[in-house]
Amino acid sequence: MRYYIIAGEASGDLHGSNLIKELAVIDPKAEFRCWGGDLMQAQGAMLVKHYRDLAFMGFFEVVANLPTILKNIRLCKADITKWKPDVVIFIDYPGFNLRIASFARKAGFKTVYYISPQIWAWKESRIRTIRRDVDRMLVILPFEKEFYASRGMEVDFVGHPLLDAIDVNNKDPQWKEHHEIPAEKKLVALLPGSRKQEIRAMLPAMLEATRNRTDFYTVIACAPSIQASFYRQWITESDSVRLVAGETQAVLQHADAALVTSGTATLETALYGVPQVVAYKGHPVSVWIARKLVKIRFISLVNLIMDTEVVKELIQDQMNAESLRTELDKLLQDSHRNRLKTAYQELRQRLGVKGASKKAAKLIYNYLCSIN
């Protein structure tokens, strides 16, 4: 069968690649075409558009880039029409994907949404669009099944795919030496995001918070789609900073603490047991609108799933070098670290068991077989 998969960011590329891997096992003759990234392409999908060309977030940013976004939507619709897939699979990225889902459903294509948009946080009205345009919804957070059920829609909870992607035991003892990082030094990881606009907003303050410290070494986990030169513009000659691209999991395996931009990376950091501070800073107009519309108390997945403040969140004006430095010092204290690691263990239990990618692949394949 033919599978057309659309993801608009790095985390979607990761989850999409694992889904493709599992679908290929179940359906050896499968063909894949995607909007995603290097990981999906490496699993054999024909890449139409890379997520680095799609990565616009925030109200102001979307409006500013509207012509490009509309052009991409037209391209996607035309490509689906020409390729004629058996199913179009959407991975999060709702602003784009729900538009394509509406088109695909009207055009007669089957639609599956893998990793629900966060409509429980804001734009709950999208439930009407989802009920109309999505044939099957697969969710990855434990509270989402009940959320949808209470609004008249049955969905499948498959567990969180990060549990499949993370290997806490496969730690390379030579990794620090390979990257010329002093073995005796603690390591602080900076995860400034996968989009250039996030990195511009986050990295300068993160670097300032870790500057002139002799008690740890700083590593920036760089997005594989962004050139190292983009990060270096904020690094001075005196900084003890190492850039590591495409090895976020290895960075987290060796990290003693982390400063993390809000997103899937906060959950990934927690699953590796790394004490973290979650930070976010967006365009003032975007943040002002979001605060008027968003209904949730927290921005990090860790706190949302646990329904309490497990990790410190620094948002907008609070996200500055001084605050980051203060919270980072707490992370390096054993008492604070132990409290966090206990909470992380409970978090892992709430996410369920491994096998989300395989379960999702089986549900999608069986659904397609049942209607053909």
Q: For 10-19, 60-69, 159-168, 345-354, which range has the lowest pLDDT when averaged over its residues?
A: 60-69
pLDDT of the residue at 231: 95
pLDDT of the residue at 285: 52
Q: How confident is the model at residue 66 (pLDDT cuts 50, 70, 90)?
A: low
pLDDT of the residue at 44: 96
Whether 2-161+355-371 shares its CATH topology with 175-350 is answered yes
pLDDT of the residue at 61: 54
pLDDT of the residue at 209: 96
pLDDT in tens, 89-107: 999 889 899 999 999 999 9
pLDDT of the residue at 289: 47
Q: What is the mean pLDDT of residues 70-76?
A: 91
pLDDT of the residue at 65: 62
Of residues 10 and 324, which shows the higher confidence score?
Answer: 324
pLDDT of 60 over the 50 cut: no
Cα–Cα distance for residue pair 241/236, rounded to 1 Å: 9
Q: What is the mean pLDDT of residues 29-36?
A: 97
Q: What is the mean pLDDT of residues 350-355?
A: 88
**First and final C-alpha spacing in the chain:** 11
Query: pLDDT > 70: what percent of the chain?
Result: 92
Cα–Cα distance for residue pair 181/241, rounded to 1 Å: 9
Q: What is the mean pLDDT of residues 238-250?
A: 90
Closest by Cα among 172, 25, 23, 152 to 33: 23
pLDDT of 292 over the 50 cut: no
Q: Quick check: helix, strand or coil at residue 353?
A: coil
Cα–Cα–Cα angle for 19, 25, 30, rounded to 5 degrees: 80
Which one of 3.90.1150.10, 3.40.50.2000, 3.30.565.10, 3.40.50.1980 gives the CATH number of domain 2-161+355-371? 3.40.50.2000
Q: How confident is the model at residue 299 (pLDDT cuts 50, 70, 90)?
A: confident
- Cα dist from 303 to 227, 253, 312, 316, whole Å: 32, 21, 9, 18
Q: What is the mean pLDDT of residues 211-221?
A: 93
CATH 3.30.750.24 describes domain 175-350: no
Alpha helices in the chain (DSSP H): 10-26, 38-42, 59-64, 66-83, 94-106, 126-133, 144-149, 162-165, 175-178, 196-210, 228-232, 248-254, 264-271, 284-293, 301-306, 321-331, 334-350, 356-371
Average pLDDT of the residues of the chain = 89
Domain range list for the chain: 2-161+355-371, 175-350
Secondary structure element (H or E) that encloses residue 135, with its range:
none
pLDDT in tens, 98-156: 999 999 999 999 999 999 988 877 678 899 999 999 999 999 998 899 999 999 999 99
Residue 210, judged by CB atoms within 10 A of its CB (0-12, 13-18, 19+), counts as: buried
pLDDT in tens, 180-213: 888 888 999 999 998 888 899 999 999 999 999 9
- CB contact set of 328 (below 8 Å; sequence gap of 6+): 188, 209, 210, 257, 259, 277
pLDDT of the residue at 240: 83
